[in-house]
Amino acid sequence: MSESSYPSIEQILPHREPFLFVKSVCDFLEDRIVCSGVIKKGHYLTRGDEAPPVLGIEMGAQAAGVHAALQHLEAEFTNSTPRGGYLVGIRRARFHSKALPVGRTLLVEAIAQGSSGPLATYRILVRAEGEKDLLVEASISTWAAEEPSQ
How do residues 111-147 score in pLDDT, each as one tens digit? Answer: 999 999 999 999 999 999 999 999 999 999 999 887 6
- What beta strand segments (E) does the chain contain? 22-29, 32-37, 50-51, 83-95, 100-101, 106-116, 119-128, 136-148
Supply the CATH number for residue 62's domain.
Answer: 3.10.129.10
Is residue 70 within 8 A of residue 6, CB to CB? The reply is yes
- Residue type present at position 54: V
* Residue 6 or 122, more confident: 122
pLDDT at 76: 47
Angular region, 42: left φ>0, alpha ψ -120 to 50, beta rest? left
Q: Which domain holds residue 99?
A: 3-148
Number of domains in the chain: 1
Q: What contacts 143, CB < 8 A, 6 or more positions away?
A: 85, 86, 88, 118, 119
